[in-house]
Amino acid sequence: MSFDAARPRSASAGGAEPRTELWFPYMFWAHTQSHRTSHTLSQSGMPPADPGFLEALGHARDLDHPGMAAQPALEAALAERFGVPRERVLVTTGATGGMYLAASRWFRAGARVVTESPSYEPFRALPRFFGADLQVVERRVEDGFALDPERVEAALARGTGPGHVFLSNPNNPSGTALDRATLARLARAAERTGGVLVSCDIYMEYVPPAEALWTHSVAPNAVTIGSFTKAYGLGALRIGWMILGAGLAQERERLVDLTYLTHIDPPTFSMRAALAACGRLPELLAPLRRVTDACRPAWERFLRTADLVQCNVPAHGIIAFPRVVGVEDTLALAEYLVLEHGVDIVPGEYFGRAGHVRVGCGVEPQVLTEGLARLERGIRAFRAQNSR
């Protein structure tokens, strides 16, 4: 697949909403264009985990029907981890599978869905795919990418029928997190219209457990979507989950019914592996802790002090979304950086925000140090070339 094939065909003013013949062009780019150099700063998750934890499976590497033992056991482990009854837990095919499941249940024609920008593409694509009225509220860099609840409330008030809020916390790509009061306010605003708050909380796994805030805990009509992909390096399992708020337990049967229409069950082996991971989470987080200690300080220093970018650095995690000073076409910048300077970043157009790039630090220290140097040289050279 060529670079041009993954490039949005056109964009509205400011590049806020790329229009394309595909629903999810970012994923085509991510699979074919995001890791083309030896200095990859495009990742938002940790590298694949050491598979040694799978030894805990012993002889449980069976091919039994997942409903016999694997799925109930994993649901029970997740219920214990999040402090909820098992009937409020669903295992999904990754977090994206959970987002699709939520959208297929609630984001129908006649409903309106308020989401955020910048954002991961499915937040803007799924409501339209299922026929809902999409309302996008901008997170502004001038506000540190905070989400203004008043603007969300105003968007929910436009129209009739149920109004839902659909977002990520912390936000992808900026890493900015909402506090409990804001999330609860958003849930109440959705509740007034008969709607739900659905949040993909996969980046909350980067937050120390004592500070973590799971969306289902803030209101009865709130839903947490998560997975072991980002902080744990277990994306290959394709295991995620949905945790329903206390007022949504009755929705479980309908949601399970929708999974039966799509994929029936996640694979038995993946669920057994995820159950093994539940017992080894501190160990699986050790690489992230090393990255936080060894890499994040240099990454933060670059983002805060380089005169070529303006950035709100999040309190936790390994991603940020700086504005590139003097550059609007960051798709072109990303390609130039690969071809001329040997470094990968993610162009902001895939998150609905041209002129920005997502930069990660989940790599070895020497890779990060050289990658940031190449990034700085590359941005400077790209600006000079395009100012002639």
- Which of these, 330, 331, 310, lies nearest to 321 by C-alpha position? 310
Distance CA 82, CA 88 (A): 10
Query: Low-confidence residues of the chain, pLDDT below 50?
Result: 1-16, 18
Distance CA 302, CA 299 (A): 5
Cβ proximity of 218 and 193 under 8 Å = no
β-sheet bridge partners, residue 136: 115
Residue % of the chain over a pLDDT of 70: 94
pLDDT at 60: 58
Cβ proximity of 240 and 226 under 8 Å = yes
pLDDT at 20: 59
Per-residue pLDDT reduced to its tens digit, 283-325: 999 999 999 999 999 999 999 999 999 999 999 999 999 999 9
Total residues found in the chain within this entry: 388
pLDDT at 300: 97
Distance CA 307, CA 325 (A): 8
Cβ proximity of 163 and 111 under 8 Å = yes
- Which of these, 91, 136, 87, lies nearest to 112 by C-alpha position? 136
Distance CA 333, CA 327 (A): 8
Domains and CATH numbers, the chain: 3-48+286-386 (3.90.1150.10), 64-281 (3.40.640.10)
The strand pair at 163-168 and 197-200 is best described as parallel
Per-residue pLDDT reduced to its tens digit, 203-231: 999 999 999 999 999 999 999 999 999 99
Distance CA 287, CA 289 (A): 5
Distance CA 339, CA 335 (A): 6
